[in-house]
Structure 1
Amino acid sequence: MFLRFPCVHRLVSDCMLTPAHNKRRVLLVKLSKSCTVRCNSDEGQTNPPHPGSEQASRQSLLSRRRRHLSPLERISSLLPQEVLSPEVEQLREQTRQEQDGDARRDFTQEKSEAGTVSKLEDLETHVASDAAEVPNTHEEDILPGESFLNFGELVIAEYRKKIRVEFRKMFQLEAGSRLQSSWGIILHDDIAGQPAGCFLKTSRGVSISIRRASLEDYVLYMKRGPAIAYPKDAANMLMMMDVAEGDCVLESGSGSGAMSLFLSRAVGSKGSVLSLEVRKDHHRRAILNYERWRKSWSLHRGQQWPDNVEFHNADLCTASPLLSGRAFNAIALDMIRPHLALPTVLPHLYPGAVCAVYLANITQVIDLLEGLRCRTLPVLCERIVEMPARDWLVAPALQKDGQFHTKQAPTPDEDETDRETEENTYDGGSPPFGSVPYIARPHPEQMSHTAFLVKLRKYRH
């Protein structure tokens, strides 16, 4: 019998190393006869665990990955703990640890895969549900003529951390699209229908302000080819030229279309703007930016933006046929060498009107003045100016814990007890007016130099 079961013979030999094991030799021989039958039957009689429980998943994984046991492992699993030798106990413990480790890894992997699938299926629902909960807008809070954000409008999304702008983006509302940022996602469908100037929460719970893009925002964030005329310079040029509704204005150097838009709004539906650009790519970009703004503005206002700008791809120095029979109330030049074009355009400018020139370098200003001197043109240089814009940071002084600092009035005549009582009157709420000190300093990010503006006025001999 022991010849047919060498593993049993080795187990019996191990057990005989101690006197206490000699009494159980007969038991080992009897168990060896039926070990194969009993082990096979035990494998198929495991009670099924409760379905849906964590234990059921673990045992199912164990059953799927269970390997065939050797005769030594089968016999040792049937014997009591005190009968086994240290070598057999070590072997059985090692096998149990391997099985538990495999089952634990498989169970963790199965749970992670199930969670991943669930997250992928519920992604859109999760993003939509985590969007900002905007308080209900009562009908009495809606002002007369107020309109809500619509698809197709240009919108500005902005996130400020304390007093610093961390994120700002201009985009067009489109159905099914989403606003993506480092602070989370907002669906365009959740933005449409909201009032302008609202705050919406991203998928990460960060509040971002949503508002309509103004003309200033648009010219700063629109797609551009060459450098634009910045709003501060365009506003000063409009003041120099004294542009009013119904005027006819000539512009040379359409660029990206920024100055064309400002002139279009200034002259209104009764006026007109003739804009010339020598480069074809800049000419196309100016037209696209102009039409895009008109479309967004009409969706907001419910009426069309005046189609009063006439774009031409031409050189002003050789554009006499385009100017023939026209007269202009003002001229805006954004050119590298404007002194070469002045003899062509000045005959079409009303006497006493202004030609405003936009120049990037002071050397260009010198060339312009030298050209006026050599040609003796009937214009007077009234002003050469640079328009700096200096931003400032002004904010209440805060302590490290976020509380407001409070002003401490000098009280040399009071005793220490009265002073402590006065300092402790602040309960952490909003301090009274005039009691909080402010910190004011220039903004670290300045626009610096943009251009020189030259004001030329035509006179009659």
Structure 2
Amino acid sequence: MTSQPPPAADDTASGPAPRAPRRGLDRTGPFALGDKVQLADSKNRLHTITLKPGGQFHSHRGVLHHDQLIGAEDGTVVENSHGIRYQALRPLYADYMLAMPRGAAIIYPKDSAQILMWGDIFPGARVLEAGVGSGGLTTALLRAVGPGGSVHSIERREDFAEVARENVGTFFGLEEEALHPRWDLTVGDFQDVAPTLGTAAVDRVVLDMLAPWECVEAAADVLVSGGVFLAYVATVTQLSRTAEALRDHGEFTEPHAWESFVRPWHLEGLAVRPEHRMNAHTGFLLTARRTAHGTEALRRATRPAPGSRDEEELNHPDNEGFGGGSGEWTAQDVGER
């Protein structure tokens, strides 16, 4: 007779166990039933479990009973049946974002942090988000706006919206099918839904979609004067088209764009060096401010201001071959072939 090996890393209970209450990750204090706990061994291998009555965490290295953790302080160290020690901590938001179930690709923590900072997501803000995906950024926005703010998310695909609803509910410890009290989730198209909110109805617009340039007009109408437009795009083509759409609209300030790279470092004694791998390009971020409604934005000067030293030198008669004092360049001047 062949014996079956125990599961490599499973969160199971012996026999049917009572259902644990659903508890959010955004809390502190001793571990309780329903809490998610991240177990790290001496090699920093991570396993996330949900505490259940009579539950057990099985691996090929032994069994850890959930009762050993219930009531223990966050950060405690426990041993399993084979003497293997684990550090037990509640998962951080970044841990949850990277491990949560996905319907669509997520915005990674390094970009979410940039969005909260440069999108200026403040407590009490009214945020309109489009392209909710798996709900990772939505969770960050809800934490940032606080009890006095609100987030309205628009998603074109029902299946993605359902995944986001479940992930947000799990993070905040909501009952199944319940929606966060400061969150509205609409399945539809941004250009159809945004106008129903009214003019100057939101403080921030955050877009994570394939063609954000198509939504500039609708975003301009729904944003308050001085509000922030922010788009997350994956390619240079998307970045360029969105920037040009903002300029063509006329009532947005000059757009700014960037990407971010995060490079971890190895720290062990005197061996302090960059890690061989880094979190490089994931996407571009682009921001612009809404001008006062009906006010044309100032455009960045591309030539020296009249009367400046540069302007005088450019138009000097001695500058033959470079516009001949006219201030204009020709194909021959720049060596065009």
Output aligned runs, 1:16-415, within 5 Å.
147-161=29-43, 165=44, 167-295=45-173, 307-324=181-198, 327-373=201-247, 375-396=248-269
User: Would you say the 8 A contact 1:269–1:306 is kept in 2?
Assistant: no
Give the Cα separation in 2 of the matches to 1:272 and 1:352.
18
Cα deviation for residue 244 of structure 1 reads 1.4
Shift of 1:367: 2.1
Quote how far apart the aligned CAs of 1:279 are. 0.6
Where structure 2 has 5 or more consecutive residues not aligned to the other structure, the ranges are 4-13, 15-26, 296-337
Where structure 1 has 5 or more consecutive residues not aligned to the other structure, the ranges are 1-115, 117-127, 129-144, 299-304, 397-437
Structure 2 residue 317 is matched with structure 1 residue 444: no
Backbone CA RMSD of aligned residues: 2.6
CA contact (8 A) 2:131 2:156 kept: yes
Counterpart CA distance in 1 for 2:291 and 2:218 is 16
Q: Tell whether the 8 Å contact from 2:153 to 2:184 is kept in structure 1 after alignment.
A: yes
Q: How far apart, CA to CA, are the structure 1 residues paired with 2:41 and 2:277?
A: 17
2: CA distance, partners of 1:341 / 1:325: 15
- Aligned partner of residue 256 in structure 2, secondary structure: strand
C-alpha distance in structure 2 between counterparts of 1:159 and 1:294, whole Å: 27
1:243 Cα deviation from its structure 2 partner:
1.7
How far the C-alpha of 1:366 sits from its partner, in A, is 1.7
Q: Tell me if the contact between 2:77 and 2:86 (Cα under 8 Å) persists in the aligned partners.
A: yes
1:452 is displaced (CA, Å) by 0.9
Shift of 1:382: 3.6
Q: Which amino acid aligns with 1:384?
A: A
Provide the identity percentage.
30
Tell me which residue corresponds to 1:122.
Answer: none
Moved over 6 A (4+): none
8 Å CA contact 2:263, 2:277 repeated in 1: no
| 1:70-94 CA-partner distances (Å, limit 9, x unpaired) | xxxxxxxxxxxxxxxxxxxxxxxxx
Length-normalised TM-score, structure 2: 0.73
What's the CA shift string for 1:380-437, capped at 9, x where partnerless?
A: 24421111111001111xxxxxxxxxxxxxxxxxxxxxxxxxxxxxxxxxxxxxxxxx
Counterpart secondary structure, 1:379: coil
Task: Give 3-state SS (helix, strand or coil) of 2:173's partner.
Answer: helix
Q: Is the 8 A contact 2:200 2:225 kept in 1?
A: no
Measured against aligned partners, the alpha-carbon deviations of 1:215-259 in whole angstroms (never above 9, x if no partner) come to: 222112111111111222111111112121111110001111111
Deviations 1:171-191 (A, max 9, x none): 321123222334432122222
- Partner of 2:253, secondary structure, is strand
Query: Offset of 1:328 from its aligned partner?
Result: 1.0
- Tell me the distance in 2 between the aligned counterparts of 1:229 and 1:325: 28
Q: Shift of the alpha carbon at 1:169?
A: 2.4
- Superimposed CA distance per residue, residues 81-111 of structure 1 (whole angstroms, 9 cap, x where no aligned partner): xxxxxxxxxxxxxxxxxxxxxxxxxxxxxxx
Aligned equivalents of 2:42, 2:234: Cα separation in 1: 32
Compared CA separation, residues 321 and 332, structure 1 to 2 (3 A): closer
Alpha-carbon spacing, 1:289–1:146, altered in 2? closer, same or farther (3 Å)? closer
Change (3 A) 1:353 1:146: closer
> Once the 2 structures are TM-superposed, how far is the Cα of residue 320 of structure 1 from its aligned partner?
4.1
TM-score by length of 1: 0.54
Q: CA–CA distance in 1 between the matches of 2:272 and 2:262? A: 16
Q: What amino acid sits opposite 2:219 in the alignment?
A: V
Conserved? CA contact 2:42–2:85, under 8 Å? no
Which one has a larger percent strand, Structure 1 or Structure 2? 2
Distance 1:372 1:245, change over 3 A: closer
Contact 2:232 2:283 in 1 (8 A): yes
Please state how far the C-alpha of 1:459 moved relative to its aligned partner.
1.7
Q: Which residue of 2 aligns with 1:458?
A: 290
Q: How many residues align?
A: 268
SS at match of 1:343: helix
1:294-348 deviation digits (Å, cap 9, x = unpaired): 117x9xxxxxx96211111111022245323561111111011000011112111
Paired with 2:163 and 2:180, the residues of 1 have a C-alpha distance of 19
Letter in 2 for 1:159: D
Correspondence for 2:301: none
C-alpha separation in 1, matches of 2:224 and 2:286: 18
Amino acid of the residue matched to residue 155 of structure 1? V
Aligned-partner Cα distance in 2 for 1:326–1:311: 19
Partner of 1:3: none
Contact 2:201 2:223 in 1 (8 A): yes
Larger-Rg structure: 1
More helix by share: 1
**Matched residues in 2 for 1:333 and 1:344: separation?**
12
CA contact (8 A) 2:127 2:152 kept: yes
| Contact preservation (8 Å) 1:386, 1:452 | yes
Partner Cα separation in structure 2 for residue 245 and residue 276 of structure 1: 21
